[in-house]
Each structure stands twice: as structure tokens, then as C-alpha cells.
A and B are shown apart, each in its own frame.
Chain A
Amino acid sequence: MDVVELSRLQFAVTSMFHFIFVPLTLGLVLLVAWMETRYVRTGNEMYKRMTQFWGKLFLINFALGIVTGITLEFQFGMNWAEYSRYVGDIFGAPLAIEATVAFFLESVFIGIWAFGWDKVSKKVHLLCIWVVAIASSLSALWILLANGWMQNPVGYVLRNGRAEMVDFGAMFTNPYGVWKFYHTVVSCYTVGAFFVMGISAWHLLRGRQLEFFRTSFRMGAYFGLVTIALSLLTGDYQAEVVARYQPAKLAAMEAHWETGTNAGIHLLAWPDAEQERNVVEAAYVPGVLSYLAYRDFNAEVIGLNDIPREDRPPILPVFLSFRAMVGFGSLMVLVSVLAAFFAWRGTLEKQRLFLRLLIYFIPIPYLTIQLGWLVAEVGRQPWIVYGVMRTSEGVSTAISSTQVAVSLIAFTLLYSALGFIDIYLLIKFARKGPEEGPAAQPILKEA
């Protein structure tokens, strides 16, 4: 493999690993903030114990999200120096703003929250977790606006041999970035919802601290129902944006080869990039693709065969990832509805099979959002900046394939070890559960 391929693989490994921890941070923090709000409002000690139990899991997860984030910022310069030089004038700004405006808030206030139970008033303590919640989503906004610019470059001119920013407002309101933010962030929230539901289910099955976990579950279930609905809605809008700005990605997502009006989708298909057609196709539903993309059953949708071969993304991975994402997403809708229904009816503990299923369902939202990320980023290929710069042109010239191969292996080993330890600790503390009864020591205190 050459420097480009190795660097792409390394970016994939490091960003996808980072994207294991960040989504739980984003979703779980909102639930923890909600729990603490109920504690401050009602004075009920159970909500305090809930805040501390889920907060502890939140912190174990948070640490890895923070430390693996630095890698990503460094990597643009380390592996993608030509890209950084070419687009830094416009791409660097959102990253620097993210650090200044959001990341500082997040990491200073999480410190006060984690260590400040006895040092600040109840209300200030509550405020801290809300600041962390808002700041972490704000952080995602800036990162995804930066990513949105790679997907749909706006507000720049090519001048002095590089892309220079001329309109910050255009970047800030870039429809691609804005919709990608909405879809990504609400999808990340679902990870937190299913995480809380799954762990609560484990304890409910064992009849432990029923009131505690029933309440946790209910909060997770309602939160999950709202967020999965929003994920569906924003995903639908995002598909429209993709159709408008990245026809090649849309065509690859749906394995759509021939340009035509009233375009449909095959429920069953297997695209072959070499033969430039689907080798398997069945169950055709006409008009659906036209409607999804342009809200008009008769709209024309460009097919892959009208896009030059060298401008097409890898079709099979994008197609399969998209199908799998939609499939798992639909499953999540179903499970969410059931969970919310059982929680609302109060018949949760009777649904033992369902509870058992929920434990094994914890990884599904993780997998689903990773698939979404693959669709977005593999679907952007062969461009590093869509239509402006090819990925192969962005790589550093000063590094060798040996250097990147070594760093890729080192990252993989280190991250695997850390991921393993982190998951082990999460399981350990999730199983241990909260301390019994309101008189017991709060969880954070026994660390």
C-alpha cells in the first residue's frame, strides 16, 4: 500500500475509534443532566444516585473521547499536509473555533462537575453538567461544519494557489454541514438511550434496585423514542441535501446506474463496479428514489453511468453500508417504540425476552452510526474536498509509507488495548450497579 492508502486507513481507524466514545458522551450527558435536574427539582435522593451511577460510566467513557480527539487534529497536518496547506485558510477556522468556544467549556466544566459535588452548590453543580451537555454538542457542530465544507465547499475562492475564505456566513449556514450536524448529533443521542436501556434491562432481569432501574429505563426509552424519530427525520432531509450536492454519492448509496425520471430502488440489489450494473436486482419500487431525493416522483436522478469512472466513489461499500444503516435504523425504531410502550404501561419486568434482547442491542446504535459515517466519508471519495481536491493530492509529501505503516500498526495496537480496558471497566461498573439505598455513599466517592 502507498502513503495515500495507509494514511486513509489510519484516518479511518483513528476517527472511527474516536467515534466510539464521542457518541455515548453526547447522548449520555443529556440523560445525566436530565437526572440531575430531577434531583435538584424534587430533592429525591434516588435521582442523585442515578446521576452518580450513570455519571461514573459517563466519565470512564469521556476520558477516551478526549484523548483520542487530539490525534485527529494533529493528523491533518501529519498525514494530510498538502490538504492542510491548500484549505487551511478556511478549514482551520472551524477547528480553532471549536477548541476556543466549545472544547474549553466542556473540559473545564466536566472537571468541576466530577470533583465538585461538595465544593459548589447544588444548582451550580447542575449548571455544570448542562454546560458540558451543550458544549459537547456545540463541539460536534463545529467539527461537522468543517466536515460539511469538505463535502460541499462554499464561501471560498481559489486564490494564491489555495482555497481562501471569503464568506464565513456561507460556511456557517452550509446546508450540507448543518444537516449533517443535525442527523449526526441526534443519531449519537440514540447511543446514550440504548446504553441506558440495555444496562437497566440487565439489572431489571436480576430484580436489582427495581425502582432505580425502572426509572432509568423509562427515561432512556422516552429519550430514545424522541431521538430515533429525529434521526429518521433528519436523515431524510440529509438525503435530499446529498442529492442536491453529491449526485455520485446518492447514486452509489442506491446502486442507481441509469439516469432517468421516476427513478426507483431495488429492494434487493448487488452492484458490480466493473460491469457498471447490478448483477442482482429484484423487487423494484418505482419513483421512490426520485421522491426521496427531490420530493417529486417524476424527478430525474443522475445514474452512476453518467458520472465519469474516476469521479465515482467505491460503490459496493457505500451501497452496503447505507442499506445496513437503514436496516439497523428501522430496527431501532421498532425496538424504541416497544420499549417506550412497555415502560409507559409499566409492564417492563414481564417482558423478559425483550429485556434480554435489549442487552445485546447496546452495540447496534454504535454500529449504525459507524455505518452512517462510512457512507458519508467513503461516499465522498475520490475527493478530499468534493469537486475541488482529490484525496490523493492531499497527502503529505514528507512522510514515507514505512512511517505511516508503523504508525498505523501502533495506533491499532494502542487503541485496541485502550478500547479493551475501557469496555472492561464500563462492564465492570455497569454490572456493579449503584450503591444500595439512599443512605449509602454516593458512587463517585468510592473511586
Chain B
Amino acid sequence: MELQIIWFVLWGVLWAVYFMLDGFVLGAGMLMNFIARNDAEKRVVINTFGPVWDGNEVWLVTAGGATFAAFPTTYALMFSYLYSALLILLFALIIRGVSFEFRGKMDGLGWKKGWDIAILVCSFLPALLFGVAFGNIFGGLAMDASGYHGSFIALLNPYGLLTGLLFVGLFLQHGALYLSVKTTGELKERAQRMAKMLWPIVLLIAVVFLAATAKFTLLYDNYYAHPALWAVPLLTALELIVVRIMLGRAKLLKAFAASCVTILLVFATALVGLFPNLIPSSLDTAASLTIYNSSSSPYTLGLMTMVALVFVPIVIAYKIWAYRIFREPVTVEEVTADDHAY
């Protein structure tokens, strides 16, 4: 297989896994203030992902690094064209990260309340903005041979916002399912109810998104050309249904697992349509960035393939080990017995 294709797949996998993993942290962060009724419960929520959130965020760093190493032209243009959006995203991720660390370090109602709001806002903004950014990439950026003709405001077009909404919805549901697995008692029940309430909303957004994709993007062209590919979005839809079925049977871990797969498949659906583009141009198809015209040299791609083949499985192995160590749900008793770092 061509190295460029391998890296297109790896690139997609890195982003998809990032969304699968940080998705539940972003979702739980957005839900914290609504599901948790008091300080102890809020700390339970934070402690459910406390040991793993920064390991999850490294997938983003790796996705960024892989874009840089494998598709430098795409990295350069994507990051400079989306300057303002990425800036807000960065700020939100920075504040969210320190919120977890700082919140429990001082008493005083104002202090904690402030960080609670920070966690809410700074979990919502990345979810929305990642969606807006990828929505605009799916639809194509306003670029031609002379450069970029878009602006931050122009990114907030209906399709971009719809994709943002899809990300927010998926992550909310994902976070609710995660909390239903990782908490106990009333908190668990509330999370479960929340997931049930969110499911039809996610379904509705997904249907509108799929219809809008036909109008605003060329993502379906690959599907028309190779009808066998329809299996991917079909599986995605099935997975989303499995989420609801498992939720109905109170098989929460399975529902959460199905939600993980759903997020991976949503991204797969989009990337199958995007191929071989990384960032299509909405003005001039000749200016589109593809895996061929924006990739690194075969030498670099070969080297990076070796690195990925050796180290990514190792990373996955010790990450699974870490999740197993912290597989037990977090309880209010445990947190109030002062047993946690957050």
C-alpha cells in the first residue's frame, strides 16, 4: 500500500481515537454542573477521568504532530488558516486542564464556583470548535492558489455549526454514558437518564447532518463511486442504535463501548468521503490539499510508519492497563474520605 494511504488512515485513527477518548472527558465536563448536585458529587465526576484525562489529550498532540510530520503542507495551512478558531480552542483546553488541578486546591465558594463555570465553558467550546473546524474541512475551505479567503466568522456557517452541534451532542451522550459506568447510586441514575434523554437528540442531529452533508459537501462522491462503502455509515447508524438498546437493557458498559465505536465510525464515515483530500478547496479543486500533494517524502513517511508500527501498539497496551487499574466506579464515600488527588 502506498505510504500516503497508510498515513491517511493513521491520521484518521489518531484524530478519531482522540475524539473517542477526550470526547467523554469533554462530555462529562459539560454535564458536571447539571448531573452533580453538590461539591462531593462534582469531585466524583472529576475523579472519574482524573487519572486519564491528560493521557487522552496526548492523542491530540500526537494527531497534531503526525499531521506536521506526514502532511506538513496540510499542517501549515490548516493551522494558519484556522488561526483564530484554534486560538480559542487552545485557551479552552488550557483552562480546562488547570481547572481540574486547581479546583480542589482551595476552599471558598467563589473559587470552586469559578472553576465549575470554567470546566463547563471550556469543555463546551472545544467540542463545538472541533466540530466547526472539521465541518468546514469537510465542506472545503475558501482557498485558491493565491491563499486563503475565509475568516473566523465565515467558519460559523450553518454546516460548520451543525457539525459543531453533532460533536457536542455525541460527546454529551458519550460523557453521560461514561459517567453512568464510572459512578454509583443517584449520580449513576441521573447519568443514565441523561443519556436516554440525549439519544433521540443525537439521532436527530445525525440525520440532519447526513442530509446537510449531501447539500454542502462532496463527501458522498466516493460512496456513489464505490457503493460497497455505504457499509461504513450503515454500521455507524447501527452502532448508534446499539447504544440505545444497551442503554434500555441497562448494560451500561456495552452502551459506552458502542458509543466509542460510534464516534470512531462517524469519523471513518467522514474520512471515507474525504479521501484522498485532506482539506478540499471550496473555490478551486486544483487548490485542494490531498494526501499526495501535501505529504512528506517517502523517506520520512517510511520512517514515521516504522515509529508508529512499533510504538502505537505499546501505547495502546499500557493505556489499556491504566484503564484497568482505574476500572472501578468512583463513589462519594471514596472522594469524601479524601482519597483522591482532585
Contact = CB atoms under 8 A, between A and B. Distances in A.
Interface residues of A, number: 75
21 contacts: A66-B54, A77-B78, A78-B83, A81-B77, A81-B80, A87-B72, A92-B70, A96-B62, A108-B322, A111-B54, A114-B50, A114-B51, A115-B47, A115-B340, A165-B300, A165-B303, A396-B80, A403-B83, A407-B84, A444-B341, A445-B337
A62 B47 CA distance: 17
A120 B304 CA distance: 34
Contact of A63 (B80, B98, B307, B322): B98
B315 interface: yes
Contacts of A399: 80, 83
Contact of A74 (B57, B77, B86): B86
B65 interface: yes
Interface string A406-447: 010010001000100110010011000000000001001111
**Interface size bracket, B side:** 35 or more
A215 B104 CA distance: 29
Contact of A164 (B70, B97, B147, B297): B297
Contacts of A90: 300
Contacts of B47: 115
Interface string A265-308: 00000000000000000000000000000000000000000000
B62 A104 contact: yes
Contacts of A64: 98
A351 B54 CA distance: 43
Interface stretch (B87-95, B167-175, B250-258, B269-277): B87-95
B300 A89 contact: yes
A344 to B, nearest CB: 35
A77 B83 CA distance: 9
A77 B51 CA distance: 30
Contact of B55 (A74, A93, A104): A104
Interface string A88-120: 111111011111110111011111101110111
B339 to A, nearest CB: 6
B68 A84 contact: yes
A100 B308 contact: yes
Nearest to A418: B98
A59 interface: yes
B338 interface: yes
A399 B75 CA distance: 15
A100 B325 contact: no
B102 A84 contact: no
Contacts of A160: 297
B292 to A, nearest CB: 12
Interface of A: 59-60, 63-64, 66-71, 73-74, 76-79, 81-82, 84-85, 87-93, 95-101, 103-105, 107-112, 114-116, 118-120, 159-160, 162, 164-166, 168, 396-399, 403, 407, 410, 414, 418, 421-422, 425, 428-429, 441, 444-447
Looking at chain B's contact residues, is the secondary structure mostly helix, strand, loop, or mixed?
helix
A146 to B, nearest CB: 10
B281 interface: no
A162 B72 CA distance: 11
Interface string B290-321: 00000011011001100110011001001100
B241 to A, nearest CB: 33
B69 interface: yes
Contacts of B100: 63
A60 B106 CA distance: 12
B97 A67 contact: yes
B81 interface: yes
Contacts, number: 232
A397 B77 CA distance: 9
Nearest to A159: B297
A85 B73 contact: yes
Contacts of B54: 63, 66, 107, 110-111
Given A81-B77, A115-B51, 9 more contacts: A70-B94, A71-B90, A74-B86, A87-B72, A96-B68, A108-B318, A111-B322, A398-B147, A399-B80
Interface in B48-66: 50-55, 57-58, 60-62, 64-66
A400 to B, nearest CB: 9
Contacts of B325: 112, 116, 119-120
A116 B325 CA distance: 8
Contacts of A422: 98
Given A108-B55, A445-B338, A79 B80 contact: yes
B73 A99 contact: no
Contacts of A162: 72
Q: Max chain B CB contacts within 10 Å: which of A59, A66, A93, A97?
A: A93
A75 to B, nearest CB: 8
Given A84-B72, A165-B303, A99 B62 contact: yes
B97 A66 contact: yes
Contacts of A85: 72-73, 76-77
Contact of A88 (B76, B104, B341): B76
B64 A74 contact: yes
Contacts of A403: 83-84
B58 A441 contact: no
A84 B106 CA distance: 42
Contacts of B224: none
Interface in B11-43: none
A425 B303 CA distance: 43
B68 A447 contact: no
Contacts of A398: 77, 80-81, 83, 147-148
B94 A414 contact: yes
A81 B300 contact: no
A107 B57 contact: yes
Contacts of A116: 51, 325-326
B339 A445 contact: yes
A99 B56 CA distance: 12
Contacts of A74: 64, 79, 86, 90
Contacts of B338: 441, 445-447
B94 A111 contact: no
Given A78-B86, A115-B341, A447-B340, A89 B93 contact: no
Contacts of A397: 80, 147
B14 to A, nearest CB: 10
A114 B341 contact: yes
A60 B78 CA distance: 33
Contacts of B209: none
B87 A77 contact: no
B249 interface: no
Q: Max chain B CB contacts within 10 Å: which of A107, A441, A445?
A: A107
A173 to B, nearest CB: 15
B300 A421 contact: no
Contacts of A104: 55, 58, 62, 315, 319
B101 interface: yes
A388 B304 CA distance: 24
